[in-house]
Amino acid sequence: MFSREESVRPTLYRGLKYWGKKPHNIWRDLIVENTNSGDVVYDPFAGSALTFFESIKAHRKPVICDINPLTLFLVDLYSKEYDLKRVKSLALNIINKIKKMPAYKNAYVTKCANCGKNVDIYNFKHLSGKAEYISYKCPHCHKTITQDNPIVPKFLEIKDLWMPTFDLEKLSSVTPAFIKKIGGKDITNLWTNQNITLLSILFNEILSVDTIEKDALMFSFLQIVHLTTKMCALRGKGANRPLSTSWGRPAYLGLTNFMEQNPIVQFERAIIGNTGVLKCLKSRNEYLPQYNYSSDIKDIENVDGIVILSDCKNISGGFKADFIITDPPYGSVIQYGELSQVWNVWLEKYDEKYKVSLEDEIIVNKNNPYSKYINDMTCVLKNCRNILKKKKTFILTFNSNNNDDWKALSTAIDNSGFEVVEKCLQKNKRSSEANVQLKEGIGISDYYFLLTENLIPNWRVECGTQKVAMIHETL
Ligand SMILES: C[S@@+](CC[C@H](N)C(=O)[O-])C[C@H]1O[C@@H](n2cnc3c(N)ncnc32)[C@H](O)[C@@H]1O
Ligand SMILES: [Zn+2]
């Protein structure tokens, strides 16, 4: 194995946020080099479904699994043919309808300070609990304006509107201080009153669409739910980007100062913007051949790929793989399931096939000690031994700035009867999971390990911990 150069990510991969997306071109090279056309490629921790799409592109047959329904949603979304004009017109109809509602006009329309015409407020900047500034780009005089002392109208509540509900106290990564800061334990408190109401109106409009373009609109909706929470930090004045923010850190962030973004303006951007759904679908059409898929492994002979929404500990056979490539959870580094609740509370309501069960996630946190992570990873790796054909390759990626994560991984590898025979440090262009925590050093790279079957299973179990420490040091 050798270190490779990451290339620019095609737009289809840029639409939905997911932490630690792997470099697509490097994964495709690894897939192509280790398989022949038609071979089966397995990834039990598929995340943003990179292994699925790159295998399809390389005319291999992917079998992927993830416990997060976002994975299934992405494969499903890109499997269909949409009428892009209809996506756009449906979206614009919904946007125009909402813009006429008093709930919207009252909250998000003001007079341009330059030309006096009506403009949509792009965002409110909240400082210490109060909306101190607004910014907008006027469509009439084309000025981008930031104004202080905005008049904040009392928001009009709407009765009988479906909204998500979820008790954030169930999440190990949520602290009492966070709950206090956002004003309550229900997930609706992640948004201001006006934003949760407008998001719910928008969501209900999307639900009532009765053509397949509905999925494309839902994709845009998922692009904006986190960007309209109270967790979006203000950029420094020096950045001079009054219309821009992000939810950068992978944590539930209770911010004193935050940017409240207009969900309808954001939705419009998530339709026609640079990484909006129209561009993503166009990129998908250029990048991928058409494919069909099934979620039942029994269909493997008859489809182009399989995607399973499940706990991969349950997948121990039913097919054989010519190559396994996977990027397992890095101990406690990113709480994928907990953080994804911000999207998944909507997704489960959108379609019950996207049901979430956080309990089986392989992760380290307050409710899941290292011993469980080791057992779970051992189980998955043993399953992989059953699934991988003899003398075939297994590549696993990993990184962490925490030695306990390394020890746990190494113990699981040893226990499963695999052995690390090669390793490579792969520099990433963008954030790896660990980079979200570290600014430099190993954090901006990932380790790629080549595993083979250890012919004398379990002989290293007792010194597993020492061995991992050794791997880590020699790296
Ligand atoms: C490091 S991420 C993979 C990211 C992926 N490589 C990408 O490019 O997007 C690890 C993934 O493991 C998934 N996961 C955790 N526990 C799981 C389980 N029991 N079964 C299946 N997937 C699981 C998480 O949902 C997460 O998507
Ligand atoms: Zn103006």
Cα–ligand 1 centroid distance for 107 (angstroms):
39
For all residues of the chain together, what is the average pLDDT? 90
One-letter identity of residue 413: I
From atom 11 of ligand 1, which residue's Cα is the shortest distance away? 45
Ligand located closest to 67 CA: 1
CB burial of 119-147 (b: ≥16 within 10 Å; e: otherwise) equals bbbbbbbbeeeebebbbbbbeeeeeebee
**Residue in 391, 378, 377 with CA at minimum distance from that of residue 320:** 391
C-alpha span between 380 and 418 (Å, rounded)? 12
From atom 18 of ligand 1, which residue's Cα is the shortest distance away? 311
Q: What is the pLDDT of residue 3?
A: 80
pTM greater than 0.75:
yes
Q: Using one digit for the tens of pLDDT, what is the confidence trace for 47-96?
A: 999 999 999 999 999 999 999 999 999 999 999 999 999 999 999 999 99
Cα–ligand 1 centroid distance for 46 (angstroms):
6
Ligand located closest to 398 CA: 1
**Residue in 124, 149, 113, 151 with CA at minimum distance from that of residue 234:** 124
CA-65 nearest atom, ligand 1: 21
What's the per-residue H, E or C state across 122-185? CEEEEECCEEEEEEEECCCCCCEEEEECCCCCCCCCCCCCCCCCCEHHHCCCCCHHHHHHHCCC
Residues of the chain with pLDDT under 70: 237-239, 430-444, 455-475
For residue 449, what are the β-bridge partners? 396, 423
> Which CATH number, 1.25.40.10, 3.40.50.720, 1.20.1250.20, 3.40.50.150, labels domain 11-79+291-474?
3.40.50.150
Ligand located closest to 27 CA: 1
**Phi, psi angles (nearest 5°) of residue 396:** -125, 135
CA-328 nearest atom, ligand 1: 10
Q: Which residue among 26, 45, 347, 381 has the greatest number of ligand 1 atoms within 8 angstroms of its CB, and so is best to mutate?
A: 45
Cα–ligand 2 centroid distance for 136 (angstroms):
9
Ligand located closest to 139 CA: 2
Cα–ligand 1 centroid distance for 250 (angstroms):
15
Which residue has 């031994």 as its token pair? 385
From atom 22 of ligand 1, which residue's Cα is the shortest distance away? 66
Q: What is the pLDDT of residue 455?
A: 62
* Size (the chain), residues: 475
Cα–ligand 2 centroid distance for 118 (angstroms):
8
From atom 17 of ligand 1, which residue's Cα is the shortest distance away? 361
From atom 6 of ligand 1, which residue's Cα is the shortest distance away? 327
3-state percent helix, strand, coil for the chain, nearest multiple of 5: 45, 20, 40
**Residue in 137, 40, 94, 85 with CA at minimum distance from that of residue 389:** 40
Q: What is the pLDDT of residue 246?
A: 77
Domain boundaries along the sequence of the chain: 11-79+291-474, 84-281
- Any residues with Cβ below 6 Å from ligand 1, and which? 18, 20-22, 44-45, 47-48, 50, 65-68, 311-313, 327-329, 336, 360-362
CA-50 nearest atom, ligand 1: 8
C-alpha span between 395 and 451 (Å, rounded)? 6
Q: What is the pLDDT of residue 273?
A: 96
